Amino acid sequence: MDLNKIVCSCYSVTNGMIKEAVDNGASTLEEVQDATSAGTACGACLDDVKRLVEQFVAERDS
Ligand code: FES
Q: What is the DSSP letter of 62?
A: -
The predicted structure's pLDDT at residue 40: 98
The predicted structure's pLDDT at residue 33: 98
Check which CATH number belongs to the domain holding 47 and give it. 1.10.10.1100
Nearest to 32 by CA among 48, 61, 4: 48
41 lines ligand 1 (CB under 6 A): yes
Inside any domain, residue 25: yes
Inside any domain, residue 57: yes
Inside any domain, residue 14: yes
The predicted structure's pLDDT at residue 8: 98
* Domain carrying residue 49: 6-61
Q: 4-31, pLDDT tens digit by residue? A: 999 999 999 999 999 999 999 999 999 9
pLDDT band at 57 (very low <50, low <70, confident <90, very high): very high
Inside any domain, residue 1: no
Using DSSP's 3-state secondary structure scheme, residue 31 falls into helix
Q: Which of 5, 6, 8, 48 to mutate to test the pocket of ligand 1 (most atoms within 8 A of CB)?
A: 8
Q: Which of 12, 45, 52 to mutate to test the pocket of ligand 1 (most atoms within 8 A of CB)?
A: 45
Task: Specify the pTM.
Answer: 0.96
Q: Rounded to 5 degrees, what are φ and ψ at 33?
A: -65, -40
Inside any domain, residue 35: yes
Cα(12) to centroid of ligand 1, in Å? 9
Inside any domain, residue 26: yes
Number of domains the chain is built from: 1
